[in-house]
Homo-oligomer: A and B are copies of this chain.
Amino acid sequence: MRVFIAGIDGYLGWPLAIYLRANGHEVAGADLLLRREWVAEVGSLSALPIATREERLRAFHETFGTELDFRLGDLTDYDFVKGFFADFQPEAVVHLGQMPSAPYSMIDQTHCVWTQQNNVINNLNLLWAIKEVAPAAHLVKLGTMGEYGTPNVDIPEGFFEVEFRGRKDRLPFPRQAGSWYHQSKVHDSHNTHFASKIWGIRATDIMQGVVFGTQIVEMGDDPRLHSRLDFDQCFGTAINRFCCQAVIGHPLTLFGLGKQKRGFLPLADSMACLRLAVENPPAPGEFRVFNQFENAYSISELAYIVRGVAADIGLEVEIRHYDNPRTEMEEHYYQPDRRRLLDLGYQPTRDIKSVIKRMMLDLLEHRDRIEAHANVLIPDIRWDGRRKRSEIIG
């Protein structure tokens, strides 16, 4: 299948190109390499060294024997997107090309507006380009479990049957996202649903949990094929950040009580699920929503797992609570459904400890890179708009 990957240089985009190619698909993609700039802007770098675009292209060619059509370009530039689609004629479009950090979007007015402008417009452009030059293509849009927030009821996959004052309807499940970034994804979900309704676009809206991990087997041993891994307060998500902290002996940073629950999944599971979505497209005009995660964990539960794995390989780490820079509920009900990907054949990794061990071994080789940037591990971007480093509260 011809699969277009928007954001092909990113943490998920690059492994996905490899994974889909290794599984027989024809891949092309676009990226403006902005993730590299954002991470530098917040004073950090990828814990694992990553190759330049040119090196990645050479390695891809050497490994798979085909050129990768990976163009530098801005997805908010409609002519670029439309022209690329006209050339490549995608059958599936996986949209990973967005600014993905909640704290980055919360820095100030400029970052808030930029995030929403970039994410909303580039998603609209993909929808329009599908409509205008590849109308049979299936859009696999990366959203986030964070779009739902933490309601006091079960979280279905996108829609639910409601009885209200004696009448019934099937309605979109309400979204209560917790950052300007997460809000941008909610806007995208609404726009995508509407486009499928009026134009008959096939769409899968992936409500993905937090991804962790350094490797997929398809990368092999060539370091030029490896993906990035971030640990800073903006782009370093929970387990990735914990592992980086563990390998340099920094306390694991829980925000507030640490009882916040979220869905998580290993990088390999994310790839497998995206492939399942791509290979099993919905009917024309169908807008389906998948909740995509291996399991739901509380943040402190994960910190204790990471500490346990660290101990197994001889690293001693402590867990500390910091005052929470975010406005969020720290204790709440959390029961999201996860049925549709299982029905398509998704087999969740049950052993996340092995994944975490693999991560720590990979990261240990580059501990100097993390140590040199350890000041980005403590958050100072606060949801109330102030800029103030979190302090240890327990």
Contact = CB atoms under 8 A, between A and B. Distances in A.
Interface of A: 78, 109-110, 112-113, 116-117, 120-121, 124-125, 128, 131-132, 151-154, 156, 160, 162-165, 167-169, 171-178, 180, 183, 186-187, 190-191, 194, 197-199, 327, 333, 383-385
A124 B117 CA distance: 11
Given A120-B187, A151-B169, A153-B168, 12 more contacts: A78-B113, A109-B124, A109-B132, A153-B162, A153-B165, A153-B171, A154-B164, A163-B163, A171-B176, A180-B191, A187-B190, A198-B384
23 contacts: A78-B113, A109-B124, A113-B121, A116-B120, A116-B191, A151-B171, A152-B167, A152-B168, A152-B169, A153-B163, A153-B171, A154-B164, A156-B164, A162-B162, A163-B163, A171-B176, A172-B174, A172-B175, A172-B176, A174-B174, A175-B190, A186-B190, A197-B327
Contacts of A125: 109, 113
A112 B124 contact: yes
A327 B201 CA distance: 14
A383 B198 contact: yes
Given A113-B124, A164-B162, A183 B176 contact: no
Contacts of A160: 164
A169 B152 CA distance: 6
A194 B198 contact: no
A172 B199 CA distance: 27
A156 B169 CA distance: 14
Contacts of A121: 113, 116-117
A192 to B, nearest CB: 10
A184 to B, nearest CB: 9
A78 B183 contact: no
Nearest to A129: B109
Contacts of A183: 187, 190-191, 194
B153 A167 contact: yes
A256 B169 CA distance: 24
A125 B113 CA distance: 8
Contact of A164 (B153, B169, B199): B153
A207 to B, nearest CB: 15
Contact of A385 (B163, B178, B186, B199): B199
Given A78-B109, A174-B172, A190-B187, A124 B131 contact: no
A70 B170 CA distance: 46
Nearest to A115: B124
Contacts of A383: 198
Contacts of A197: 327
Contacts of A199: 384-385
A181 to B, nearest CB: 11
Contacts of A151: 169, 171
A206 to B, nearest CB: 19
Nearest to A110: B78
Contacts of A385: 131, 199
Contacts of A165: 153-154
A103 B383 CA distance: 37
A131 B382 CA distance: 14
Contacts of A117: 117, 120-121
A177 to B, nearest CB: 7
B191 A167 contact: no
A130 to B, nearest CB: 11
A116 B117 CA distance: 9
A179 B241 CA distance: 41
B128 A124 contact: no
A267 to B, nearest CB: 30
